[in-house]
Chains A and B, each alone.
Chain A
Amino acid sequence: MTDFPNDGTKSGGQQWASEAFKGRLAKRHRKETGLKLLGLAALSLAFLMLGILLWTLISGGAQAFRQTHVTLDVPISAEMVDAADPAAGNYRGVIGEAMQATFPDAAPDQMRALSGILSNAAQFVLRDRVVADPELIGQTVEIRVPTSDTYDQLNKGNVDEGSAEATRRLSDEEIRAFRQLEAEGRITLPANWALLTNADSRFPELAGLRGAIIGSFYALLVCFVISFPLGIGAAIYLEEFAPKNKISDVIEVNINNLAAVPSVVFGLLGLAVFLNWFGMQRSAPFVGGLVLALMTLPTIIIATRAALKAVPPSIREAAMGVGASKQQVVFGHVLPLAMPGILTGTIIGLAQALGETAPLLLIGMNAFVTAAPGSPFDASTALPTQIFIWADSPERGFVARTSAAILVLLGFLVLMNAIAIFLRNKFERRW
């Protein structure tokens, strides 16, 4: 029985129409509209900032995705290159002769400057081709090599030809020589695959991300191999088996705190423990992976515990009800159902690790390394540290490459997050 008065008086029947009530209603609607507008404004601001970021990166980095090349006919004389030992040939001289042939009027002192049009890599490109095919000795070979950075910038319109000659890095004569090559159709601007396939270099036109990408890959691999099983194991124990008492409370609080520890602190830990104490290889992706694993572990533990918690208790009861042991319940039923959540959390943790710079700086992964690592124990850079190195370099070519490298890193991050979303949608079960 309700306790409402049942004497015929309608409680509040008049109130719904009163001015005060209408006023309150209008106020409520105003508040709701205000909140909605605030949310929209915040969202718009976020999108604006994202747009500015992407626009800056793309407009700054777009030029780095193409690289000016020169096509040159190079006669390889047997005097310069000995057929018996093609690797030891004077390819610098061969290139010099070819340049002299291209600019027959240039005096020797001008030649010095003009040979700077070609990247330093030209002689090595030629050498590799001749070593691979010694038959070429005595013939004329057409090579296509990158121009050096200053000419690349000229071709991309970044040199103000109207300014005083002394204030530019290229003299009028050098610009003329370049224009001549251009008129001969020797200058091309193809896609710059070297950005992905070359390792780092002193010369911006040769510098690429291969070493950084492989270094990051190895570091993430080590990070995954260590943190994934360890994180899941720790989470399963804490969530399913550990007794709930003071000690497990303390552990839980500490894991949550660890997730919030600045990454540079993990870098210091890695420096002190892995490098100084264990004496591991400096700058190695293996050590980088260890440090990143320390950092990723709390993220994976927290994500896994949340995923385990989200499995409905009815599934546990069902399994226990037919006599499954605790271990059978966890590994046969709960863990498979929690797997999409665990994978999502892990990938997001790894994506975070991929973008982490500070801990890698501390263990020396910002070294200048011109070869891609052959194993996780070779010195190498990683993508974020490579960005850091290039951002520090003054050459114009590196400025564009920094933006391009950031775009590559962002590309990998987007890819990883897309995989996480895909896995979540594909394996998510509803029950």
Chain B
Amino acid sequence: MYDTTRPEMNVDQLHTKISARNVQVFYGTKQAIKDLNVEIQDKTVTAFIGPSGCGKSTFLRCINRMNDTIDSARVEGEIMMDGSNIYDRGVDPVQLRAKVGMVFQKPNPFPKSIYDNVAYGPKIHGLARNKAEMDEIVETALRGAALWTEVKDRLQESGTGLSGGQQQRLCIARAVATAPEVLLMDEPCSALDPIATSQVEELIEQLRSQFSVVIVTHSMQQAARVSQKTAFFHLGNLVEYGDTDDIFTRPQDSRTEAYISGRIG
């Protein structure tokens, strides 16, 4: 099912896609993230692990500025993507979100047809000039999300009629349809059964060839399976960040060690 002997990519040779410097996030007066510094590599799966409420989802939502939609949220510091700060005044979050796709915890397809679900992003960003181009984008995205063979004969049926795992892959197809550079996944498998989970994990592995994937997960096994880099968050701090193998076998920090061995969290 999952090839554990795959050759590890040498992450050091990949360039940095996202680099966060001194990021602080506040919800009202409560500080959710303190002094976060991290470099996320291109064409790599980076897993964020940590106990509930530790700020990993919060940071994930900083990367595509979803936190902007929460009135009380305030972000300080810099998040550089390809060398420019995404929190610069000139950056339009709407455009940023086309470049940074997101998949949510619960599959949330629009109550529209499968085709319209995938075509929505390209449509609002004007990525297709005609129907033929749109058809191609939709097919590519669905193929990319390993869903094409299952739905190609019923593209006009409602996206909400699919099974949970198919819905989540549809959401992934929707996210990759705008040809993003980064794909954020917020516990994408927490609402899925083990078979659907393994399908999505396999998909994540394939997506890595095109995107920088950042995944928040509560399952340490999943983090170990899919990621090359792992960041451990605890109480709003990024405690430890490094190669996944190192984090799970030779954690440097006692809190990391306590968490992965199941003593805290």
Contact = CB atoms under 8 A, between A and B. Distances in A.
Interface of A: 243-244, 312, 314-325, 328, 333, 337, 429, 431
B111 A317 contact: no
A2 to B, nearest CB: 18
Interface stretch (B36-44, B63-71, B207-215, B236-244): B63-71
A321 B110 contact: no
A323 B97 contact: yes
A317 B69 CA distance: 9
Interface in B53-100: 64, 66, 69, 71, 94-98
A429 B108 CA distance: 14
B72 to A, nearest CB: 9
B94 A314 contact: no
15 contacts: A312-B108, A314-B108, A315-B108, A316-B69, A318-B110, A318-B174, A319-B110, A320-B97, A322-B98, A323-B94, A324-B120, A325-B94, A325-B124, A333-B110, A337-B111
B188 interface: no
Given A244-B71, A333-B110, A431-B160, A321 B125 contact: no
Contacts of A315: 108, 110-111
Given A314-B106, A431-B160, A321 B64 contact: yes
Contact of B108 (A244, A318, A337): A318
Contact of B97 (A244, A312, A314, A322): A322
Given A322-B120, A323-B125, A333-B110, 16 more contacts: A243-B71, A314-B104, A314-B106, A315-B108, A317-B102, A317-B108, A318-B108, A318-B174, A321-B66, A321-B101, A321-B103, A322-B174, A322-B175, A322-B177, A323-B96, A431-B111
B165 interface: no
Contact of A320 (B69, B71, B174): B69
B110 A320 contact: no
A208 to B, nearest CB: 47
Interface residues of B, number: 28
B104 A321 contact: yes
A236 B174 CA distance: 27
B3 to A, nearest CB: 30
Across the A-B interface, the 7 shortest Cβ-Cβ residue pairs: A322-B121, A323-B98, A314-B108, A323-B97, A321-B102, A318-B108, A325-B94
A227 B106 CA distance: 37
A317 B124 contact: no
Nearest to B98: A323
A324 B124 contact: yes
B109 interface: yes
Contacts of B111: 315, 337, 429, 431
B172 to A, nearest CB: 11
A337 B111 CA distance: 9
A57 B71 CA distance: 55
A270 B192 CA distance: 59
A318 B69 CA distance: 13
A377 B110 CA distance: 46
A317 B104 contact: yes
Contacts of A324: 94, 120, 124
B147 interface: no
B66 A320 contact: yes
Contacts of A243: 71
A318 B66 contact: no
Most chain B CB inside 10 Å of its own CB: which residue of A312, A319, A322: A322
A317 B94 contact: no
Given A244-B71, A323-B124, A318 B178 contact: no
Nearest to B97: A323
B171 interface: yes
Contact of A323 (B71, B95, B104, B171): B95
Contacts of B108: 312, 314-315, 317-318
Nearest to A328: B124
Given A315-B110, A328-B124, A333-B110, A322 B160 contact: no
A335 to B, nearest CB: 13
B121 A323 contact: yes
B104 A318 contact: yes
A71 B252 CA distance: 108
Contacts of B98: 322-323
Contacts of A328: 124
Given A244-B71, A337-B111, A321 B175 contact: yes
A149 to B, nearest CB: 59
A318 B171 contact: yes
Contacts of B160: 431
Contacts of B102: 317, 321
Interface in B137-188: 160, 171, 174-175, 177-178
A243 B69 CA distance: 11
Contacts of A322: 97-98, 101, 120-121, 124, 174-175, 177-178
Contacts of B97: 320-323
A243 B71 CA distance: 8
